[in-house]
Amino acid sequence: MAGYAFLQGAFILLIAGLVNRILGFGYQITMIRLIGPEGVGLFNMVLPVYIMMLVLASAGIPLAIAKLVAEEVASNNMPGAYRIFKLSLFILQFTSVFFTVVLVISAPILTESFFPNPRVYYCLISLVPGIIIVTLCSAFRGFFQGLQQMSPTAITQVVEQIVRVVSGLVIAYFMLPLGIEYAAVGLSVGVILGELTGFIYMLRIYARNRPQALHYVAGLWRKISLGNDVKQIFTLAVPVTLTRIVATALMSVQAVLIPLRLNAAGLSVSDATNAYGQFIGIADALLFVPGVLTMALATSLVPAMSDAMASHNLTLARARIADAVRLTLQVGVPAAFIFLLLADELCGVLFGYPQAGDILKVLAFSGPFLYLQQTTTGVLQGVGKADVPFKNLVVASLVTIVLIYYFTVMPQFGIAGAAAAVAIGYIIMSILNMLYLNSMELLYLSGVENVVKPLLASLGMSLVIIYLKNMLYWYGLNIALVLVIALAAGGVIYLTLMLLMGGINDQDKEKFRVLFKFNQR
């Protein structure tokens, strides 16, 4: 059945993503309770700048590696795949060193003139070593993804997360008596230790498991091919880099603009940082939980689409896209209802800040669109239209920034206004991506199959959750028990209704059986 290899790759990444998400959630919860929203706000203020340096250093090349290696493998040209990989790795060595130097030089300037809270300097500078580590590791991940071998990426991500969580929290705990800003430095050091461990493990996997390739003839042909390879790499890498630059720039603008506008609305610098910490560290973190599936799909879709398009198999490409979109909505629609109905309980039980539930309720409406944005971006990059997500993101980001500026300062909105602005941005980009895929005749949405059935099942689930919440609270059960029971019952009802309505069909069941058998081998 078409799409099994693609779904198997996504399944491996999904399992790793779930493990990472569980670890990450424990990390987020402990972090919030250990250093509070203000400390989390400090850490998340510098994180977008660090991510921006990573985006510039990697230059979209890892995704180009995945796509071009997949095309070479589809043509049975393993020497060509290695040529692409080694050339890309050489380029990344240069860019990673260059942007490491840039960040070291610019860190004092950024701290003085860019960040609203000057205590972020040491947190920022402690992240510097990660630029070289992450950039080089991403090249190896792109190579294995191009081979449609997702296990190396999955394994190293889990190892990286374990080390990051344990070391970050331990160091933050011991540095907390020195001040919140030093505890935030501990989190940064944990990030670097995790990334270094993951990279070392990736090198070990590459040394042991890389596929063999016959030697190819050097000379003039190689020079011509080298020039063509460079052109191919940067043709894809440039729009991918621009997309990530815009996404990271938006994060950076949000990290600065939201606290500033909250301060303009009358909050102190400390309270504004606290509110931003609740937004980014609690509500937004919860919204991205179902993204474990969609990011796994997006990562697998790039080489899967490249493989299908290189083989001129449009039927296979459409089948893979249809599977990805349907799975995204089957997860995204009920997740939105859960976030809307159990926002206070989730934020209160997990993080100890039930007031962040008001922010999550606003974001909940955009959840399915956020997840579709991730999936469709992977599709567009895989079919060689990496410039389209960039253009769409620019439009969505401009709207988001303008709305943040006006909504956040309104007394009746505050931080919820910022959440609404971000939610509208997710919706706009998702719709623009899907319209373009529809114009390419690669995506045909079936309203009943993709939207109506998950929506009806989610409405039935919601009625059960509302009834159980009211009854359990009336009996005096504590909030944690109410949350567990409501989630468990809601999940069972949703799956049951989907099965009864045919939302999960025989084809889906067969694919799940194949995936389960694949996982057992």
pLDDT of residue 349: 85
**How far, rounded to the nearest angstrom, does the alpha carbon of residue 335 sit from its chain's CA centroid?**
16
Phi-psi region of 485 (alpha: psi -120 to 50; beta: other; left: phi over 0): alpha
pLDDT of residue 222: 45
Question: What does the domain layout of the chain look like in residue ranges?
Answer: 4-445, 457-521
pLDDT of residue 270: 77
Give the number of C-alpha atoms closer than 13 A to the C-alpha of residue 117, restricted to the C-beta side. Answer: 31
**Looking at the chain, how many residues does it have?**
521
pLDDT of residue 506: 64
pLDDT of residue 370: 92
- What are the structure tokens assigned to 499, written together? 């099965």
pLDDT of residue 117: 64
Q: How far, CA to CA in Å, does 363 sit from each of 90, 275, 399, 417, 429?
A: 41, 15, 16, 10, 15
**For 383-452, where are the alpha helices, taking DSSP H only?**
387-407, 415-439
Give burial (CB, 10 Å; 0-12/13-18/19+) of 240.
Answer: buried
pLDDT of residue 341: 92
pLDDT of residue 221: 42
**How big is the CA angle at 284 (ends 57 and 512), to the nearest 5 degrees?**
85
pLDDT of residue 461: 94
SS (H, E, C) 230-299: HHHHHHHHHHHHHHHHHHHHHHHHHHHHHHHHHHHCCCCHHHHHHHHHHHHHHHHHHHCCCHHHHHHHHH
- Whose CA is closest to 187, among 110, 123, 138, 230? 123
pLDDT of residue 413: 82
Give the number of C-alpha atoms closer than 13 A to the C-alpha of residue 95, restricted to the C-beta side. Answer: 22
pLDDT of residue 465: 93
pLDDT of residue 447: 53
Report the predicted TM-score, pTM, of the whole model to 2 decimal places: 0.71
pLDDT in tens, the chain (521 residues): 444 555 566 667 667 777 777 787 778 778 777 777 777 777 777 777 888 788 888 877 888 888 888 877 777 778 878 888 888 888 899 999 999 998 888 888 877 776 656 677 778 888 888 899 999 998 998 888 888 777 888 888 888 889 988 988 888 888 888 877 778 788 888 889 999 999 999 999 888 877 765 544 444 344 446 667 777 777 777 777 777 777 777 877 887 888 888 888 777 777 887 888 888 878 888 898 887 777 776 666 666 676 677 667 777 778 778 878 888 888 889 999 999 999 999 988 888 888 888 999 999 999 999 999 988 888 887 777 878 888 898 899 899 999 999 998 887 788 889 899 999 999 999 999 988 888 887 777 655 467 888 999 999 999 999 999 889 888 888 888 888 899 999 999 998 998 888 777 666 665 555 544 544 44
pLDDT of residue 175: 81
